């Protein structure tokens, strides 16, 4: 089963000075082992959202785009 965990957050600013809180999520896979244990493995998939829940795409490690508004924001 796939699920996401919040692994961090940061502040970002748009060119017009608007501040945004961005949440970073890491996707994990949960598997029941033959011994009956649950094993969680990190996948390479990361996702970002604004505090309001809007999807954010990463352009580079310091620059992001809010998908709904097409607004470019930069990590501060």
Encode pLDDT of 28-49 as tens digits: 999 998 899 999 999 999 999 9
State whether residue 69 is helix, strand or coil: coil
Confidence of residue 74 (pLDDT cuts 50, 70, 90): very high
Contact status, residue 4 vs residue 30, Cβ threshold 8 Å: no
**CB neighbours (10 Å) of residue 42?**
12
pLDDT band at 64 (very low <50, low <70, confident <90, very high): very high
Reported pTM: 0.84
Characterise 44 by phi-psi region: left (phi > 0), alpha (psi -120 to 50), beta (else).
alpha
């Amino acid at each position: 089963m796939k699920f996401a965990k919040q692994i961090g957050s940061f502040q970002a600013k748009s060119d017009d000075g608007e501040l945004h809180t961005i949440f970073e999520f890491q996707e994990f896979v949960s598997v029941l082992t033959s011994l009956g244990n649950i094993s969680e493995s990190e996948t390479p998939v990361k996702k970002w959202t604004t505090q309001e829940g809007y999807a954010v795409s990463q352009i580079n490690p310091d620059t992001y785009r809010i998908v709904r508004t097409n607004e470019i924001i930069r990590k501060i």
